Structure 1
């Protein structure tokens, strides 16, 4: 399948490498190809320059967001939450009619809030939107011809592409969306990654819960110790 991964951060790299390993035709979208290739320093999360990643993974095609989306049958959104809506709206024509799997968290970093939440990595970002809306729903409203599915967001992306690394894979992944075929496509991708327990939460409105879970996931991660990956298992009665 022709798949575009939009973004060059750590999460996007995990998907890109896995998809390439699975034999897909993978394009990666970035805002400015020349600028991405010109970077010689690690990014804000400590990932090495992207040109090194490309050298280590031959076969990946680095393109602009628009060109990557235009060539793909399926698109995975790995653009940071604060910029995702604007970046995706700008390439609406290239996304029209396609399934877009969105795993972005709508974080606002360094928020000025009355009661900040201190963490080992600084003040916890603020979710915006939250509770009465979600980033996924905003994307769907802005791009009505795109079939948006929220998924992948309740795990570190390294674990998303390798669920067996935690508990032998015995934990749960979630999907939500208003298009049944798009959710089926997403589920098939998840199964190819190794997921066996996939829970359909219903319509895209459930993306609110998945995005808000990011805070709980962070709290658990801090309690366990940073770097200790974990999974959540839904136990049915």
Structure 2
């Protein structure tokens, strides 16, 4: 399958590498390919420049967001939450009729808040939207002809593509969306990644809870030690 991954950060790279390993034709989207390839410094999370990573992954093609989306039969959104709506809006024509998997978190970085939550990298970002809307719903309204599925967001992406990293894979992946065929496509991809427990939370409104879980995920990560793989299991 031709799959587009929008974004070049650490999470996107996990999907790009795994999809290529599984034999898919992968197209990567970035805002400005020339600028992305020209960067020589790590990003805010310490991720090495994309050009350095790309040199070790031949056969991966880098495009603008819209061009990558145009190449893909399935599109994975790894654009940061604050810029995702605008970037995807500009690619609306290329996304029409396609399954768009969104794992972005609507973080607002360096927030001016009354009671900050200190973390190893500064104040914990706040979520916007929150409670009464979600980034996934905003994306669906912005690109109504796409079939948005919220998934992957409750887990670190290197564990999404390799669930065996935590608890021998015995943990739960969630998804939500309005389109049964799109959710089936995402379920098939997750199965190929190695997931055996996939819980459909229903309509896209459930993305609100999935995105708000980001803070709990961080709290667990801090308690276990940053970088420790873990998962959540829904016991029925």
Aligned twin of 2:162: 162
Aligned twin of 1:24: 24
- 5+ residue gaps, structure 2: none
State the 4+ residue runs in structure 1 displaced beyond 3 angstroms: none
Secondary structure of the corresponding residue to residue 175 of structure 1 = strand
- Render the CA deviation track for 1:52-100: whole Å, top value 9, x for unaligned: 1111111100011011000110000000001001100011001111000
Aligned twin of 1:5: 5
- 5+ residue gaps, structure 1: none
Secondary structure of the corresponding residue to residue 101 of structure 1 = strand
- Render the CA deviation track for 1:170-228: whole Å, top value 9, x for unaligned: 00000100000000000000000000000000000000000000000001111111111
Aligned twin of 2:139: 139
Aligned twin of 2:126: 126
Using the size of structure 1 for normalisation, the TM-score is 0.98
Using the size of structure 2 for normalisation, the TM-score is 0.99
Choose 199-208 or 115-124, whichever is displaced more: 115-124
Q: Distance in 2 between matches of 1:119 and 1:51?
A: 29
Q: Distance in 2 between matches of 1:160 and 1:109?
A: 24
Aligned twin of 1:90: 90
> CA-atom RMSD, angstroms?
0.6
Q: Distance in 2 between matches of 1:43 and 1:114?
A: 28
Q: Distance in 1 between matches of 2:134 and 2:116?
A: 22
Cα drift, residue 115 of structure 1: 1.1
How many residue pairs match? The answer is 236
Cα drift, residue 114 of structure 1: 1.1
